[in-house]
Amino acid sequence: MHRDNRPIPPRDDEREQLQADLTRLVGAGRLSFEDFDRLSDVVWSTQDVSVLHRIRVQHLGAPPPHPQLPNTPVPMAQAGAYLALPVENQPVVSTMGEIKRVGQWTVPEMSRFKLNGSTLKLDLRQAQAAAPVCTFDITANMSVVEVIVPPGVYVENRLRDTLSTVTVETTQPHPNAPRVILSGVVRGSTVKVITRQAPDTNSLWNKLFGG
C-alpha cells in the first residue's frame, strides 16, 4: 500500500498472468469452473494488488516476485515472521488422483483437502509458512496421505480415523519452527508423518537451526 494506506492497483500483466495460472489449475483438475469464474471476476475487478497476492498464495502455493510485495517467502523456521493472509481457503479435491506439494512453496494457515481413492504428498522441508500454526484439514476415503517435515517441526494429530492407519513420527519442537496440525476425518486410509532432514545440507533450514 501507499503511505496514505490507499491500495496499489494491479497492472494488467499481473492480472493476465494470474488468470493464466488459474486456467492451468482448471486444466489439471485442481480448480472448479465455478471457482475459476468467481476468481476471474475478482482478478479483473480488484483495485488492490494484495488481493492478487492472496489468491496466488491460496491456490498456487507461492507469491510471484513483485517489486511492491516481499520477493522472498518467509521461512517456516523464523519465529514471529510470517505472512498474515486472512483468505478463504477452498478445498483441493481429488478422486483417484494425486496431489503433491513439494520443493519450495508457501504453506497457508489453513489448507483443506478432500480425497477419494487418491494420494496426497506434502513435503515441508523446503517450504515457507504463512502463519506460526499451519493446519491441514483432510477428508480422506480409501486414500494415502504422506507429510514430510524437517526436524524441529512438531506435528499435532487431531484426525478422527476409522479403519485407518495413522503414524506420526515427529520431534521436539524447535523454538523458531512453526507447528503443524492435522485435522479432519479419514476412513479406510493410511496417514504417515515422517521427519527427515532437508535434502540440501546448506539449506535454509540447516542454517537457521545451526546445522
Percentage helix, strand, coil for the chain under 3-state DSSP, each rounded to 5: 20, 30, 45
What residues have CB less than 8 Å from 211, skipping those under 6 apart?
201, 205
Contact at 8 Å (CB) between 57 and 130?
Answer: yes
What pLDDT is stored for residue 1 in this prediction?
41
Quick one: 99 and 195 in the same domain? Answer: yes
Residue 147 has pLDDT above 90, yes or no: yes
Quick one: 57 and 116 in the same domain? Answer: no
Residues 146-168 have a mean pLDDT of: 94
Report yes or no on 48 lying in a domain: yes
What pLDDT is stored for residue 191 in this prediction?
97
Q: Is 148 or 170 the better-scoring residue by pLDDT? A: 148
Report yes or no on 100 lying in a domain: yes
Q: How far, in Å, CA of 124 to CA of 126, rounded?
A: 6
The predicted-structure confidence for 101-140, as pLDDT tens digits, reads as follows 988 888 888 899 999 999 999 999 988 888 888 999 999 9
Q: 5 in the Ramachandran plot: left (φ > 0), alpha (ψ -120 to 50) or beta? A: left
For β-strands 133-141 and 160-162, DSSP reports them as unpaired
Quick one: 118 and 179 in the same domain? Answer: yes
Residue 71 has pLDDT above 70, yes or no: no
The predicted-structure confidence for 87-104, as pLDDT tens digits, reads as follows 445 788 899 999 999 888
Domain, as residue range, for 9: 1-71
